[in-house]
Each structure stands twice: as structure tokens, then as C-alpha cells.
């Protein structure tokens, strides 16, 4: 949905400046996820996100590539590493043997542990915000997701 009154260059610059001021703290959240995933579960952030997407129902390499906005070969390479590590299983679609479906193996428990730890960490940080600030943050995240998907 595009506004009929596009933002002025000055507003755009303020938005960019605000983003860069907020980015390092939000980068800390990513660093925390990376630390938990790497230290406790020996997976990288990219593999964590692939597992997260499979958990959310993206069950083919093509679907993962589209959801993550990456090339199919990049998605396939990430999946191959997870299959090799025993975290993801490939199965042929019973209706169409040409299609390969992806499913989590023991990764479900691993993923739940990462989400639980990171969720507690993030909730502690977000608890300093008011209801209005939380609402504004959620709206901003939706907008960032929308422009990132374009």
C-alpha cells in the first residue's frame, strides 16, 4: 500500500538516521542469537533462520529461497549442511515424486531452546518500553519487513 503523499527527502533522511541509531542495539539481539546458536547448539545464524522457516511451514528449498529472498542454490546449500548435521530430513512428496519436502528432525527441541533463551533475553529488554512504544516498535518492524520483502 503506497501513500498518495510520499515522504519528503528530509523525512526520508531522518528515517535513515533513526534506523542507523537503532541498528547497533538491534544488532545486539542478532549477536545474542548468534552466541546462543553457536555456543550452545553449534549452528550458525543462517542455519538457525533456515530451521525457523522450516518450522513455520516453508518445506521446500524453493519456498525457503523465496521466504528468505535468497537464491535457490544458496538455500539448497544451507539445507544440505543441516541435512548433513541431521537437523533436517528430506522426503519425497507422495503425490509428486519430483518434489522434495523438508522437515525438522531433532532440531525442533534445539530451535525451541534457542527461541526460549532469546525470547527471555528480548523480553527483558522490551520490558523497559511503554505499551505505546511497543505498539510503535511492532509497526516499525512490520514496515521494515515489508520494505525488505520488496
Separation CA 53–CA 38 (nearest Å):
18
- Separation of alpha carbons 147 and 150, rounded Å: 5
Query: What CA–CA distances, in Å, run from 117 to 46, 53, 121?
Result: 18, 18, 6
**pLDDT tens per residue, range 109-139:** 677 777 788 778 888 888 898 999 888 888 8
* Mean local confidence (pLDDT), 3-30: 69
Burial of 56-79, coded b for 16+ CB within 10 Å and e otherwise, reads eebbbbebbbebbebeeeebeebb
pLDDT reading at 1 higher than 70? no
User: What structural domains does the chain harbor?
Assistant: 26-149 (1.10.10.10)
Instruction: Give the model confidence (pLDDT) of 22-60 as tens digits.
Output: 665 566 666 777 777 777 777 777 888 888 889 888 999
Q: Average pLDDT, whole number, for the chain?
A: 80
Integer Cα distance of 33 and 23 in angstroms: 15
Average of pLDDT values for 61-65?
A: 93
Predicted local distance difference test score (pLDDT) of residue 149? 58
Residue 110 to residue 139: CA distance in whole angstroms: 30
In the chain, DSSP assigns E strands to: 88-92, 100-104
Give the C-alpha separation, 147 to 77, whole Å: 26
Share of the chain above pLDDT 70, in %: 84
pLDDT: which is higher, 116 or 71: 71
Amino acid at each position: 500500500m503506497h501513500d498518495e503523499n510520499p515522504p519528503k527527502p528530509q523525512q526520508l533522511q531522518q528515517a535513515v538516521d533513526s534506523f542507523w541509531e537503532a541498528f547497533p542495539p538491534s544488532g545486539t539481539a542478532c549477536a545474542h542469537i548468534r552466541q546462543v546458536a553457536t555456543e550452545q547448539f553449534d549452528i550458525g545464524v543462517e542455519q538457525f533462520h533456515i530451521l525457523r522457516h522450516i518450522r513455520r511451514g516453508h518445506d521446500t528449498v524453493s519456498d525457503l529461497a523465496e521466504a528468505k529472498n535468497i537464491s535457490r542454490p544458496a538455500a539448497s546449500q544451507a539445507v544440505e549442511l543441516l541435512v548433513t548435521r541431521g537437523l533436517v530430513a528430506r522426503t519425497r512428496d507422495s503425490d509428486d515424486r519430483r518434489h522434495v519436502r523438508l522437515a525438522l528432525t531433532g532440531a525442533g527441541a534445539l530451535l525451541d531452546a534457542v527461541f526460549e533463551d532469546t525470547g527471555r533475553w528480548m523480553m527483558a529488554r522490551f520490558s523497559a518500553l511503554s505499551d505505546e512504544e511497543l505498539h510503535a516498535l511492532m509497526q516499525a518492524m512490520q514496515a521494515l519487513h515489508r520494505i525488505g520483502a520488496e
